[in-house]
A and B are shown apart, each in its own frame.
Chain A
Amino acid sequence: MDKFIYLDNAATTRTAPEVVNAMIPYFSEHYGNASSIYRLGTESKRAIMQSREVIAKSLNADPLEIYFTAGGTEADNWALIAAAESGEGRGRHIITSKIEHHAVLHTCQYLEKRGYEITYIDVDEKGIIRLEDLKKAVRKDTILISVMFANNEIGTIQPIKQIGEIAKENGILFHTDAVQAYGHLAIDVEELNIDLLSASGHKLYGPKGIGFLYIRKGVKIRSFIHGGAQERKRRAGTENVPGIAGLGMAAKLAFSQMEERAGKIQKLRDYLIERIGNEIPYCRLNGDRERRLPNNVNFSFQFIEGESLLIMLDMKGICASSGSACTSGSLDPSHVLLAIGLPHEIAHGSLRLTLSEENTIEELDETVEAIKEAVGKLRQMSPLYEDFIKKQNKI
């Protein structure tokens, strides 16, 4: 492929060269099984321990509270299903939000079919849950609250500390899907009263297929994958040593340069938001202007549909994403955009651009010009725009 502009870092990130280098020795050199007695195995074991320590430190947790998984989705499934089953004696009610990732929402639906009751709390027009709603939703039989740290589509950051407090006051487990936040925002599980936290490697310039679940010491949830004694018997299966080594390096890089990185990306984000908002008519920024991930830009353009826009951008080498139905494989646009109150036709015309520190102002300028051209073309084609203009001319 020729030159392209990558603006889909919420989907996945480019694995950092340092991460790849950290992984390489564990394929053909130190390939031993970490459970083995001989020295070759201990090399692998050491790599796992080191990553576990780096990650634990990054969260202000204990290394024994970190459990490696095959990614964020597995961590979410584990946290929800196992916490639900463990809490059964006390109740079968779970609270979550309407804008969770499908890894949480579809797991909740699975639990509903098995007799659990789920309350999906609304969010405001910026995509933030109302703490009053959460308090009202709490019942005697509530066993788990699961609210994402930051949203993958619109980047909104939730009031995690206050949610943690509400959970703690009521003796309810608190899980947060931090897949988009981990490595991008500072997270202290003690300060925030988080009991369970899911994260994924490939969202922070780490490898795909590796993630972890933080489980607070003392939280009794059952093992998820049954088999050998790996991960203190809670998540069986030979460890993905190269993946774990890579995730450890990615976390190390992310946390040693967090402020610098976030500052740089945020500047790019604000530049992009400013230019699009000022230069393209009939658009709106989705999500909160302030409480949003440093890398997230999400706009809706009236009268056009997102997939068409993505194809036009792709032809100019720009990688982006949309919440339109056509990109979700169903007829409904993104549940997140509907939850913040967007009408269907406006939700269909959304565009998500998620940045990395590798992006440049020149790339963003090129992108804005490409969006302008594509939106203009699509509006010329749109019967909705035609009707809108005719109506305006009548007034």
Chain B
Amino acid sequence: MYSEKVMDHFTNPRNMGELENPSGVGTVGNAKCGDIMRIYLDIDENHIINDCKFKTFGCGAAVATSSMATELVKGKTIEEALLVTNKAVMEALDGLPPVKVHCSLLAEEAIHAALWDYAKKNDIVIEGLKEPKQDISEEEHEDEEY
């Protein structure tokens, strides 16, 4: 059901772990829905993301999207990191099954949450960054009735 890339990032997750004095940390998701993602960012004075780590409680897709998201933002500037959307994460993973699209949304949201934390700590405003939703849960759609 998963692409080879997803399986690769699930079995060999990149940047899994914690950072000791992170510039920003973001945790999003909801244990109720079975997904929680935490992203740690280390950002230098030039606004470049030097290091990025993640921890995830969730399914295979959740782990893979977190791993890919950290790969995509590492070495980027804050402005560039903001352009890493869920679509970009999905494309980099060669797609996700439709029921797992919300995992990629979670990854985007986790990065934004970590950036938001960084901005708050440093009392700066990052243009284009909105306060992240802590709790992402898709609305379930009623099945079609016959």
Contacts and interface: CB of A to CB of B under 8 A. Distances in A.
Interface stretch (A141-149, A169-177, A307-315): A307-315
Interface in A309-336: 311, 315, 324-326, 329-333
Interface residues of B, number: 30
B34 A381 contact: no
A303 B31 CA distance: 9
A73 to B, nearest CB: 16
Contacts of B11: 315
B39 to A, nearest CB: 10
Contact of B10 (A308, A325, A383): A308
B31 A381 contact: no
Given A308-B59, A331-B137, A333-B34, A380 B10 contact: no
Contacts of B63: 308, 381
Interface string A352-395: 00000000000000000000000000001111111000000000
A95 B46 CA distance: 67
B138 interface: yes
Contacts, number: 78
Interface residues of A, number: 26
Interface in A3-53: none
Interface of B: 2, 7, 10-11, 13, 16, 18, 27, 31-38, 55-63, 99-100, 137-138, 140
B33 A384 contact: no
Contacts of A74: none
Contacts of B58: 305, 308, 326
A62 interface: no
A329 B98 CA distance: 10
A332 B138 CA distance: 11
A348 B63 CA distance: 15
A85 interface: no
A344 interface: yes
B36 A384 contact: yes
Closest 5 CB pairs of A and B: A345-B31, A307-B59, A326-B59, A348-B34, A383-B38
14 contacts: A305-B62, A308-B59, A315-B11, A330-B140, A333-B34, A343-B31, A380-B16, A381-B57, A382-B36, A382-B55, A383-B37, A383-B38, A383-B56, A386-B18
Given A305-B34, A308-B10, A384 B57 contact: yes
Contact of A383 (B13, B27, B32, B59): B27
Contacts of B55: 381-383, 386
Given A308-B10, A344-B31, A380-B16, A331 B138 contact: yes
Interface in A156-214: none
B44 to A, nearest CB: 25
A104 interface: no
Contacts of A331: 32-34, 137-138, 140
Interface in A86-129: none
A304 interface: yes
Nearest to B67: A381
B73 to A, nearest CB: 18
Given A329-B99, A330-B140, A331-B138, A383 B57 contact: yes
Contacts of A308: 10, 58-60, 62-63
Given A311-B7, A382-B57, A384-B31, 9 more contacts: A303-B57, A305-B57, A305-B62, A308-B59, A324-B34, A326-B99, A381-B56, A382-B36, A383-B37
B83 to A, nearest CB: 25
Contacts of A315: 11
Contacts of B33: 325, 331, 344
Nearest to A343: B31
A376 to B, nearest CB: 13
A305 B60 CA distance: 9
Nearest to B6: A311
A385 B58 CA distance: 12
Contacts of A345: 31-32, 34, 57
Contacts of A386: 18, 38, 55
B10 A311 contact: yes
B140 A348 contact: no
A344 B34 contact: yes
A245 to B, nearest CB: 33
Nearest to B36: A383
